[in-house]
Amino acid sequence: MLLLLALLQQIDSTVPAERGQRLEVSSYAGDISVRSWNRNAVRVTADQEGRTRVEIDRSPGSITIRTVGHRGAPRMVDLVITVPTWMPLDISGVNTDVSVVGARGAVSVETVQGDVDVDGGEGLVSLRSVQGSVALRGAKGRLEVHSVNEDVSVGNSSGEVTAETVNGDITLRAVDASSVMSSSVNGELTYDGTIRNGGRYAFSTHNGDITITVPEGSNAAVSVSTFNGEFASEFPVTLTETRKGKRFNFTLGTGRAQMTLESFQGTIRLVRPGSSRDARDRDHDRDRDDDG
Amino acid sequence: MSDRWTERLSEYLDGELPETDRAALEAHLDTCAACSETLVGLRRLVLRARSLEDRPPARDLWSGIADRIGAVPRRRRLTFSVPQLLAAGVALAVLSGGSAWMLHPDATGVAAVRLDSAPSGVVPVVAGGSTSETARSYDAAVHDLERVLAEGRGLLDTATVRVLEQNLALIDGAIAQARRAVAADSANVYLNTHLAETMRRKIHLLRQAAALVSAVS
């Protein structure tokens, strides 16, 4: 234990930052925690172990922070980085959990084994993980959230939303979106947000339910398709066209938004505001009863 | 399945129809379910294409595969010269960062289309090409990417390899189910599109896996 402590060296460095610079972080393993402040400077704190060092480089276009192994891959290093709110962020890792709070610029995060949790971001916000969950809140702009094997969520955000995962649920709540593309192969899709006139909203899953909360006064031309699933609505809809199989269209209000809802073998459900969780809970209770 | 207005849906989408034709087409859409459905499908295609990534994997790996499948660079706007293909039950798949293409498991009587670049950045959908050729291109792209993953699996963390393979198997299962559904209802636009989209997902995930291998090799 004493030896281990002796090998650990804490770093605490602050470098000036100028508008036009972006922060680039690359770490192999450990947590990356990015916070913001009102100073035009970047502060980095970390416990670095003897065989792994933290390098900080500054150029006119960027401030770069990376962990470097003496021989082989770097060891685990937990980085705590404080940045100006305006600073664009470009963060990548492998075995790395990433959290960001308070960003007001573009944010790009990519990790393989780790969760991504971002509060903030404006402009292009692109978050990706292979094995971890991805959660985004308080962002606006073009929002892209991707996972492979875990859930994806966006909350209290606005703009154009693209959300994808293969094996996980996608939850979009309190989202003011002009366009949404939400798709999973094996997961449930939930949307509780605005349906804007002229907006485009596309939800597609192979094996999962889709639950859409439809705000009062929404205007949408809705296209529903399923192969082996069901459709349920908490309010009456008048079908304008029924195609072969379980495919049909209907219009809400003036139909000025376009909405497509596709689940190969899940239930597609339209609910009133405030009732989506209730509906899902009822289904889960029913499933439990059936199992019992 | 097709009428004189079907050919003009892409102009309508692009806002290029003269006002009188636009009004007439909108009146037609009120009464023609086939054209309305085709229009919905085309809008989805445009929406999907606009979201395409243009970022290739870190290494030069993608270029050979892209050549094989006819991938082309940036695209943001589409013009469709033969949109009745959707109504004919042609499926759509879009390869991220590369070409968009359509295919059908049964080549008989079903056209295949691919997107080719145009100097202006307008990307027309061109009818023609062989469905079997498209399928072969897809299979070859999958094969190449699977080979990259197989050769590089030793470089990746075992848990990562396991997750990738589990999710590829999940997608394969979905593809198999969608294929059976299409076989039972080959003219179903949704099923064809869903099949193609699921196949696109497989390519996309394999590309992610290949990029991971590239990053650590």
Question: Which tens digits make up the pLDDT trace of B156-196?
Answer: 889 999 999 999 999 999 999 999 998 888 878 888 889 98
Would you say residue A17 lies in a domain? no
B chain contacts of residue A262, beta-carbon cutoff 8 Å: 190, 194
Question: Which tens digits make up the pLDDT trace of A240-288?
Answer: 656 555 888 899 999 999 999 999 999 999 999 987 555 555 555 555 5
Q: What is the pLDDT of residue B48?
A: 56
**Is-contact A227 B191, C-beta < 8 A?**
yes
Q: Which of A110-114, B31-35, B79-83, B144-148 has the highest mean pLDDT?
A: A110-114
What number is the average pLDDT over the span A139-155? 97
**First and final CA of chain A: distance in angstroms?**
51
Retrieve residue B133's tokens: 């050729």
**Is-contact A269 A210, C-beta < 8 A?**
yes
What is the average pLDDT value for chain A, to the nearest integer?
A: 90
Question: Which tens digits make up the pLDDT trace of A80-116?
Answer: 999 999 999 999 999 999 999 999 999 999 999 999 9
Would you say residue A137 lies in a domain? no
**Is-contact A227 A169, C-beta < 8 A?**
no
Would you say residue A113 lies in a domain? no
Question: Domains in chain A: how many in total?
Answer: 1
Q: What is the pLDDT of residue A39?
A: 97
Would you say residue A116 lies in a domain? no
Percent of chain B with pLDDT over 70: 55
Higher pLDDT, A203 or B182: A203
How would residue B95 be classed by pLDDT, with cut points 50, 70 and 90?
Answer: very low
Amino acid identity of residue B80, one-letter, is F
How would residue A118 be classed by pLDDT, with cut points 50, 70 and 90?
Answer: very high
Query: B47 vs A202: CB contact, 8 Å cut-off?
Result: yes
How would residue B110 be classed by pLDDT, with cut points 50, 70 and 90?
Answer: very low
What number is the average pLDDT over the span A187-207? 96
How would residue B104 be classed by pLDDT, with cut points 50, 70 and 90?
Answer: very low
What is the average pLDDT value for chain B, to the nearest integer?
A: 65
Would you say residue A186 lies in a domain? yes
Q: Among A111-125, A143-157, B32-46, which is the least confidently predicted range?
A: B32-46
Compute and round to an integer the Cα radius of gyration of chain A.
23
Q: What is the pLDDT of residue B131?
A: 56
Q: What is the pLDDT of residue A89?
A: 98
Residue B216 has pLDDT above 70, yes or no: yes
B77 min Cα distance to partner chain A (Å) = 16
CA distance to A184, A197, A255, B79, per residue, from B12 (Å): 31, 19, 18, 10
Would you say residue A109 lies in a domain? no
Q: What is the pLDDT of residue B116?
A: 25
Residue A19 has pLDDT above 80, yes or no: yes
Q: Which residues contact B16 (CB under 8 A, 6 or more apart)?
A: none
Q: How many Å separate Cα B38 from the centre of its chain?
A: 16
Domain that holds residue A213: 151-292
Minimum CA–CA partner of A263 in chain B: B194
How would residue A74 be classed by pLDDT, with cut points 50, 70 and 90?
Answer: confident
Of A112, A166, A243, the CB nearest to B205: A166
ipTM above threshold 0.90: no
- Residue to substitute from A170, A264, A265, A268, interface B, most B β-carbons within 10 A: A264
How would residue B33 be classed by pLDDT, with cut points 50, 70 and 90?
Answer: confident
Would you say residue A182 lies in a domain? yes
Would you say residue A177 lies in a domain? yes
| Boundaries of every domain in chain B | 53-216
Of A130, A185, A249, the CB nearest to B170: A185
Continuous H helices in chain A: 2-7, 276-291
Does A256 lie at the interface with B, CB-CB under 8 angstroms? no
What number is the average pLDDT over the span A45-59? 87
Retrieve residue A292's tokens: 């019992």
Question: Which tens digits make up the pLDDT trace of A176-193?
Answer: 999 999 999 999 999 999
- Residue to substitute from B13, B47, B96, B192, interface A, most A β-carbons within 10 A: B47
Which residue(s) pair with A152 in the sheet? A134, A170
